[in-house]
Structure 1
């Protein structure tokens, strides 16, 4: 019988069943972001609870009903936690761009030397501007005009041009509005000089992280100092943007985000030094307690390093994992297991459930899960385990293990990179063979020694070693990034295809018996689905000022000749172009003047005509209306005359205010938008932008109850 066969499978996998609990928690959290409104959230929550109860009712001693009940309950908890956290962090958001005087207490100061800026986060105390005051704002200041007393805890007053946190400019782009909601940020912008320090920071207050960052950047100039600071404090502001992009293209960007590699190196170095130093005492050495003392020192190092680097999600996950490894070593248990990864995921999801949709969480946990699952396989253990063999063969075996692990990680992370960043690299595994040992065994130890010796003025030799090693690391990044085919741009991955690949990957990683290979099916389906998805032909930003059109030759061209680097790169990425897009005014398929651009695109035998405005100057209405009637698609950043309607689609200021950015595929007639009708996530609601903090979510929930109409009762 099917039930008996299933029970036999689950009995064989009984040690792996608990690993599905964090998966179910994450699925519930992700469901809150995918589902549109409180009705759907409540229905899913009740369905999960009903499924759990039903499974317990029919349980007759087997594993399957209990597993279904536990996982359903975990889904409900994940969804409820995410909903509750979205309510708990709710804070007023600026309704529209404005210039205002802001007085606030400095919560964070982040120097960005590579951009000549200083980024300051303020808790607003006084507001002199239009609309309701946001609770927290983030302001960029010119580093040259930043006052000397600018430090955490100080009270400052500054005049700034502020904007609401920006939603994705085009479908699939970075959603800063969502991130800002959970961070409590109500506005971002740029401050004007002079900045007044109303009250300096408390006497004796020292920002250790900022001081250490400045110290490192003084010792090492340029991007080398920025990378060294990133390794020590997590601050990447001094890394030149060109070098940061090279690190990303070479698959080395993970070295700049403090996570498992860095925590492991720090803990290992501290434990090694502790054992070596304390072993010099015969009395301590004979007690047999040195491993326990070294483990305690390593735990202190992990916690301190996590605090020093800002306690980001990858760092917290790595810290929890390191602490569990240390506990397992003390107890004499096997340390590096998937249960350790699962425990770290549970901690992160319970505290920050919104992180499940972020690339940081996905990349870090996917990489660690893939590495451990790969090396837990019996055949892999037999290949790369300890052998009685000559030294040179052991070195080759280790290099092969590192290369295969790197290739596996690249393949594992590729769907996540394509979904979030619309590109995938292929040379990262080779680059990491040199970069990881270089960072772990040369850069970080040299930097640690230099910092320890600097108080007595003897750190210069160690800084020289770190500088030379970082120069080699940057050379590797630049060389690999410049290699042909280093990065392949893939603009579109459907959400369902991404979900299928994630589900299949988890199935492969968690199970241990042969049915794990069934996970290859959804992985293959997701990959084929992604490759078969046609690339967009037209991409329009949410303000209507910018668009990118794919030409008949497959190239991407942008509307405005004077387009900033950020928007140009954004449109190229969204259009699946790894390079600089052309200008429509210089392409053969377009005719442009200073005010209008007329473009022709041929797809599957049909000719599509696109009309777009390029300036805010008025065009004679009658002539514009005639052009609109001949165009299939009309795009404008301003409100068009009533008679100016495209034959198929019109995207003017009024329409784009409702849809946000737009992506159009002519072959299928599909139009994807940033905003969708009925989306009730709080950062998408007008109430959130008017300063109504918790009421939109609460109103959505209570409106489901009979007789409750909060909108009618609101004054």
Structure 2
């Protein structure tokens, strides 16, 4: 395609200590992202001019889109979008309300292709093949049919990885499951810590940067906890003698099997949820209070109906016989959506705020000891776990958050409210800040006309504590519950207006400088934010003569994924580009005046 496009460099964290998107972009080989200015034009090309990898990737993408369109047409609605996400990894069309409902109920992992889906695909293929081999007892008695089924399952998950888009989570899950299936091929136990360690080493060799990401940490924490719990339970059962099971009627037999399956699913959810809870809170500041009940209600539908029929539909699709299987899969997804929506409506707020880094590290150490030790040494994990839980709240919440483009300022004003300086705040940043500051509601600014006398910008002594932003003439004011006044200025020429009364001034002007010359007034300029990233500000409620403390997200030596920050116009102290501007001249520093 060809056309005009606007490209933007990778953004940094939306607040200090949050996820750095430029870090992920750097290792993914992404130098910028943006959008076309108008519709792009398709350029006709000769396939012979394309390299072999390009033709291969093009064919795979075309096949994915064709399959996704076929699935949407067969099932339709939100169910069709979710089915396309589960089979080929195309999930952009899922409605936002369904995404949010699954996040609140803790079942969004069903949408993201990961270990669950790989395991269900491999299990379905192995179950079908071993059942088919059982129909030929002479052949099954002479051949290692379990290895044949494992090899077929390995091939199937490799195909699933390719057709789902080779996303990072699926790639990591494929490596983990491939190690276990290969262990079966060589007559080794599949569910062992050794295999998990081999999988971790393989993932680190392929994508070492994933170690600091939430996907790697939560995936391996859950798997390690489950493997360790399974090994401990197996050891416990091995040391006990059990009498033969009494004969039961068919209803009693089915009831016992149902209770065992429900109990096993509940324990799996509890173990995996407990192992990943602190990692989820650290990275996302949210937890799903009703996730156990949601998973107990939804996972049988996914495991018995949705994924097996997804596999069957994929096998039947080349022959045009996938319609009945997709129909059953769609009905299962309808039930899943209904359950998640019902539980989401009754789920309390899931934002839990920030937690301390040392608590996460201590719990990680406890998890390693508990899962790796095989004797009474497991008890050594208890002090670390207890210390981690006691230090969860050992962190100070920021009083003000500032976006790296200097356009958005937010401060909690009490009663679960977060005041912002814009009527249309950036939705992603605002949602992240709400969870970090444990706020439920965004309070937008009150706008005043120039002729309106209700808001005296020169003497804002009437601002109540915990007030929203009051804005007029490119200047916004708000009073923090501590009593500190926060000012937002669009033009550096208006900075002096707030110097007499503000404790913090944010200037959305790259050419600005500290015009107050007062050590008690903290001035944050657009140029600082462009170079150092988003900021968090802390006031001292005990002393009015102590200046606010400010922390930047990239306040330190630049790493390779931060180098682009120094080249923007804002980072160089230049105004926004306009046609007809004269060439930039370096400032004359001899007179001590700031650059113009």
TM over 0.5: yes
**3-state SS in 1 of match to 2:37:** strand
Structure-2 residue corresponding to 1:422: 285
Structure-2 residue corresponding to 1:511: 373
1:163 aligned to 2:8?
yes
Deviation track 1:345-397 (CA, whole Å, cap 9, x = no partner) reads 00000121101011111111111111111122148854999983652234213
CA distance in 2, matches of 1:384, 1:626: 78
CA distance in 2, matches of 1:251, 1:201: 47
1:508: how far off?
Answer: 1.8
1:599 aligned to 2:456?
no
Deviation track 1:638-677 (CA, whole Å, cap 9, x = no partner) reads 1446433562421122332333211123248653211113
**3-state SS in 1 of match to 2:405:** coil
C-alpha RMSD over aligned residues: 2.9
Structure-2 residue corresponding to 1:438: 301
1:306 aligned to 2:306?
no
Q: How does 1:468-479 map to 2 (within 5 A)?
A: 468-479=331-342
CA distance in 1, matches of 2:179, 2:529: 50
Q: 1:379 to 1:296 in 2, by over 3 A?
A: closer
Structure-2 residue corresponding to 1:117: none
**3-state SS in 1 of match to 2:351:** strand
Q: Is the 8 A contact 2:404 2:535 kept in 1?
A: yes
1:557 aligned to 2:428?
no
1:581 to 399, 418, 442: 442
Q: Is the 8 A contact 2:356 2:393 kept in 1?
A: no
Q: How does 1:436-585 map to 2 (within 5 A)?
A: 436-485=299-348, 487-490=350-353, 492-577=354-439, 579-585=440-446
Q: 1:517 to 1:670 in 2, by over 3 A?
A: farther
CA distance in 1, matches of 2:349, 2:182: 41
1:554: how far off?
Answer: 4.7
Q: How does 1:40-119 map to 2 (within 5 A)?
A: none
Deviation track 1:201-222 (CA, whole Å, cap 9, x = no partner) reads 7289632333222222222223
1:581: how far off?
Answer: 1.4
Structure-2 residue corresponding to 1:630: 501
1:542: how far off?
Answer: 1.0
Deviation track 1:424-465 (CA, whole Å, cap 9, x = no partner) reads 112112211122221121011222333444455443332221
Q: Is the 8 A contact 2:355 2:394 kept in 1?
A: no
Structure-1 residue corresponding to 2:516: 644
CA distance in 1, matches of 2:106, 2:393: 22
1:279: how far off?
Answer: 4.1
2:190 to 302, 319, 335: 335
Q: What is the number of equivalent residue pairs in this alignment?
A: 524
Q: Is the 8 A contact 1:427 1:486 kept in 2?
A: no
CA distance in 1, matches of 2:427, 2:526: 23
1:161: how far off?
Answer: 0.7
Which structure features the higher share of strand residues? Answer: 1
Q: 1:426 to 1:260 in 2, by over 3 A?
A: same
1:210 to 60, 65, 69: 65
CA distance in 1, matches of 2:181, 2:429: 47
1:399 aligned to 2:262?
yes
Q: Is the 8 A contact 1:234 1:310 kept in 2?
A: yes
**3-state SS in 1 of match to 2:516:** coil
After alignment, is 639-648 or 384-393 more displaced? 384-393
Structure-2 residue corresponding to 1:80: none
Q: Is the 8 A contact 1:590 1:597 kept in 2?
A: no
Q: How does 1:86-485 map to 2 (within 5 A)?
A: 156-200=1-45, 202=47, 206-207=59-60, 208-281=63-136, 284-378=139-233, 382=237, 388=245, 390-391=252-253, 392-485=255-348
Question: Unmatched 5+ residue regions in structure 1?
Answer: 1-155, 691-715
Q: Is the 8 A contact 1:548 1:559 kept in 2?
A: yes
CA distance in 1, matches of 2:351, 2:513: 42
2:536 to 663, 676, 687: 663
CA distance in 2, matches of 1:180, 1:553: 37
Q: Is the 8 A contact 2:471 2:477 kept in 1?
A: no
**3-state SS in 1 of match to 2:265:** helix
CA distance in 2, matches of 1:170, 1:547: 11
Deviation track 1:208-238 (CA, whole Å, cap 9, x = no partner) reads 3332222222222233122212221222222
Q: 1:313 to 1:481 in 2, by over 3 A?
A: same
1:590: how far off?
Answer: 4.2
CA distance in 1, matches of 2:234, 2:128: 35
CA distance in 2, matches of 1:673, 1:383: 55
Q: 1:591 to 1:236 in 2, by over 3 A?
A: closer
1:550: how far off?
Answer: 1.1
CA distance in 1, matches of 2:371, 2:137: 46
Q: 1:627 to 1:328 in 2, by over 3 A?
A: closer
Question: Unmatched 5+ residue regions in structure 2?
Answer: 49-54, 247-251, 448-463, 542-547, 569-596
Q: Is the 8 A contact 2:419 2:469 kept in 1?
A: no
Q: Is the 8 A contact 2:419 2:443 kept in 1?
A: yes
CA distance in 2, matches of 1:270, 1:609: 64
CA distance in 1, matches of 2:383, 2:549: 27
Q: 1:590 to 1:313 in 2, by over 3 A?
A: closer
Q: 1:689 to 1:479 in 2, by over 3 A?
A: farther
CA distance in 2, matches of 1:505, 1:598: 47
Q: Is the 8 A contact 1:313 1:361 kept in 2?
A: no
Structure-2 residue corresponding to 1:81: none
CA distance in 1, matches of 2:233, 2:317: 47
Q: Is the 8 A contact 1:540 1:662 kept in 2?
A: yes
1:282: how far off?
Answer: 5.8
CA distance in 1, matches of 2:373, 2:279: 21
Q: Is the 8 A contact 1:635 1:651 kept in 2?
A: yes
Q: Is the 8 A contact 1:568 1:580 kept in 2?
A: no
Q: Is the 8 A contact 2:282 2:360 kept in 1?
A: yes
Q: 1:401 to 1:689 in 2, by over 3 A?
A: farther
Structure-2 residue corresponding to 1:705: none
CA distance in 2, matches of 1:574, 1:356: 23
1:323: how far off?
Answer: 2.9
**3-state SS in 2 of match to 1:685:** helix
